[in-house]
Structure 1
Amino acid sequence: MKAKQIHEMKDDELIAKLGELKQELFNLRFSNATGQLNNPMQMVVCKKDIARIKTVLRERELSKKA
């Protein structure tokens, strides 16, 4: 996902997407452990998307407090 797309999403959409990405990461790790993962870069991309979403959620949380 692009950062611009993430910034355009609402908080509840971000939380839902975060849950989906965490599930996807779990499945990728499982596939990697069993030797069925074809492209290990998928895990890296998924982790970065999770980090982007968490960053945006945290920024919004801090802006509400200020």
Structure 2
Amino acid sequence: MPLPKIEEIRDLNDQELNDQIVATKKELFQLRFQKATRQLEKPHQFKHLRHRLAQLMTIERERQLAASKSEATEE
């Protein structure tokens, strides 16, 4: 399974982006829980989910900065 592409994330609207962030955090929690109970079968999923979460949060931050920059130019 290849790492997800950031172009896919840029196509999401703000609500979908927030939903994806929450879902990814829940998946990471589940993986940590599985690891603690020694039921984890695919440890490489940690890398993929952390990468995906970083991408999601990067796009979210870019949008926040763009919004604040546009508000500052309007004033």
TM over 0.5, shorter chain? yes
Counterparts of 1:32 and 1:46, CA distance in 2: 14
**Which residue number in structure 1 is paired with residue 19 of structure 2?**
16
Counterparts of 2:18 and 2:33, CA distance in 1: 23
Counterparts of 1:22 and 1:41, CA distance in 2: 16
Structure 1, unmatched stretches of 5+, are none
Q: Specify the SS of the correspondent of 2:27.
A: helix
Counterparts of 1:26 and 1:43, CA distance in 2: 10
- What stretches of structure 1 move > 6 A for 4+ residues in a row? none
More helix by share: 1
The 5 Å alignment of 1:10-49 reads 10-49=13-52
Counterparts of 1:2 and 1:34, CA distance in 2: 31
Quick check: which has more Rg, 1 or 2? 2
**What is the root-mean-square deviation in Å for CA atoms of aligned residues?**
0.8
User: Number of matched residues?
Assistant: 66
- Pairwise CA distance, 1:37: 0.7
- Pairwise CA distance, 1:38: 1.0
- When normalised by structure 1's length, the TM-score is 0.94
Q: Specify the SS of the correspondent of 2:41.
A: coil
Return the letter of the residue paired with 1:24: E
